[in-house]
């Protein structure tokens, strides 16, 4: 991917200082880059209709989502 300087100037980035809000376990899990299937990450049952389910994300994913959405 090629980015121009003017494009980078308009990008939104997460302040790395906000990562200090993560628990040590969550930060460790995120840094390892060990990811599970989308269904597991979001807490969905593969067998049931996805529209009838409510997301129940893994705790570290929820913590990450909460931090990012608070900043947005």
Beta strands in 15-61 (DSSP E): none
| Residues 6+ positions from 15 with CB-CB distance below 8 Å | 71
**Per-residue model confidence (pLDDT) at position 53:** 93
Q: How many angstroms from the chain centroid is the CA of residue 62?
A: 7
This model's pTM is above 0.75: no
For 65, the 3-state DSSP assignment is helix
Q: How far apart are CA 50 and CA 15, in angstroms?
A: 33
The CB density around residue 58, as the number of other CB atoms within 10 Å, is 15
Percent of the chain with pLDDT over 70: 79
More confident residue, 32 or 56: 56
Quickly state the pLDDT bin for 66 (edges 50, 70, 90).
Answer: confident
Quickly state the pLDDT bin for 48 (edges 50, 70, 90).
Answer: very high
């Amino acid at each position: 991917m090629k980015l121009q300087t003017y494009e980078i100037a308009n990008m939104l980035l997460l302040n790395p200082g906000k990562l200090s809000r993560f628990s040590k376990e969550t930060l460790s899990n995120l840094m390892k880059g060990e990811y599970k299937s989308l269904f597991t990450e979001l807490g969905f049952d593969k067998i049931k209709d996805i529209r009838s389910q409510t997301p129940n994300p893994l705790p570290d994913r929820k913590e990450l989502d909460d931090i990012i959405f608070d900043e947005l």
